[in-house]
Amino acid sequence: MAQTKHCDLAIAGGGLAGSLIALALAARRPNVRVLLVDEGETIGGNHIWSFFHNDVADADRWLLAPLVGHGWQGYNVAFPGRRRKLGTPYYSILSERLDAVVRRTLRDDLVMTGRRITALNKTTLLIEGGDRVQAKAVIDARGPGDLGQIDCGWQKFVGQVVRLESPHGLERPVVMDATVDQIDGYRFVYVLPLDADRLLIEDTYYSDAPLIDLDAVTARIADYATAKGWAIAEVERQETGVLPVALGGDFDAYWQSGAKDVAKAGVRAGLFHPTTGYSLPDAVRTAMFVAGLPSPASRTLHDVMREHARATWEERGFYRMLGRMLFRAAEPERRYRVMQRFYGLDRALIERFYAAQSTGMDRFRILAGRPPVPVLRAIRLMGERTDMRA
């Protein structure tokens, strides 16, 4: 028999964005009854999220502290013409830990997993099988909206957590190893040392197309491990992902591509770094924004979250312009030169870039000098606006 559940705020989607809003409200606004609904059997799915120390404001670190499973005091990068060690602390969150913390924090009856949402509006979720969630307000955080409304490049990857036959010897993550063959755009390998004999090895591409040849990429991961002298005893888990890199687009059309008048969060709200595609820093900011509202579960939620997302989009035209330079000014096999040059800049500038908080002087320094792409193309793309909000 179909049932109706009642709550103050219903969150559609138990990924990082939806989960962090639920956790922030549980801590800061415990009087707000939040119900989290996800199609998957576990909160967070099968993901590993990583972030730099300065991606998150000091006042907001408490929200992520229970979730962090791994941390390092710095990281390395490698390019054909540059190798560098940086002292910025770096952290990772595994989806299993997110699932455990959400279930420990919220009451069991306020976490619904394995439930597919068939329709929603600003106060109601309809669940496959006939159940209904009735709320004062709804947030849709179920992943991307209609990406056809955004001019996109793609960051796509396959990552494997592998157990090795012997210790790997790495003490820090390798955030970018671009010394590998440049295939299908800008390619680099990302390596996290999770334990003495366990690694995440992720083969990543800044590509013009979102398609992944899974067999070819997993073979390259195996080849990379062999070249490093790492004998893989077991592949413990595998994750694939395709992140949008925003080069331009119409924010209003993208926002309206979902359910009308429903508040949105995460990538569905356009809240991700335009150049990197990463959404964790914005997910934290959005969670704290919602928790700080006078009435988080009210009919005005859609309007205030839309303006929050719109203001963020409009502030980030510089990053979309950089994306156009990377994808349209640089030949695919030479795109690595853009990041190679970038990693020769000041560490604090790099930190602010990843946090999407570049200063005016940062922007000047990123663009100053001879660009590592054809000059005329760079000049044209610096002035290009693909629409009024590009």
Is residue 379 predicted with pLDDT exceeding 70?
no
Is residue 124 predicted with pLDDT exceeding 80?
yes
Q: What are the C-alpha distances in Å from 338 to residues 47, 130, 192, 341, 370? A: 28, 52, 23, 5, 11
Is residue 390 predicted with pLDDT exceeding 50?
no
> Rounded mean pLDDT of 181-191?
97
pLDDT of residue 112: 95
> Rounded mean pLDDT of 72-89?
98
> Rounded mean pLDDT of 160-180?
97
| Residue 380 banded pLDDT, cuts 50, 70, 90 | low
Contact present, 283 and 305 (Cβ < 8 Å)? no
In this structure, of 56-65, 354-363, 366-375, the range with the lowest mean pLDDT score is 366-375
Is residue 157 predicted with pLDDT exceeding 90?
yes
> Rounded mean pLDDT of 270-288?
97
Q: What are the C-alpha distances in Å from 11 to residues 18, 34, 385? A: 6, 7, 35
Pairing relationship of beta strands 232-249 and 174-177 according to DSSP bridges = unpaired
- Angle between helix axes 375-383 and 317-324 (nearest 10 degrees) is 150
**Which residue type occupies 156?**
K
Read off the pLDDT of residues 241-257 as tens digits, 9 standing for 90 and up.
999 999 999 999 999 98
Greatest Cα pair distance, the chain, in angstroms, is 68
Mean pLDDT, the chain, rounded, equals 93
> Rounded mean pLDDT of 225-246?
97
Is residue 76 predicted with pLDDT exceeding 60?
yes
Angle (nearest 5°) at CA 136 between 133 and 142: 60
* Among the listed residues 175, 157, 143, the one whose alpha carbon sits nearest the alpha carbon of residue 239: 157
Instruction: List CB contacts of 202: < 8 A, sequence separation 6 or more.
Output: 157, 158, 159, 160, 189, 190, 191, 192, 221, 239
pLDDT of residue 371: 58
Alpha helices in 6-94 (DSSP H): 16-28, 61-64
pLDDT of residue 383: 55
pLDDT of residue 364: 94
Beta strands in 231-390 (DSSP E): 232-249, 263-264
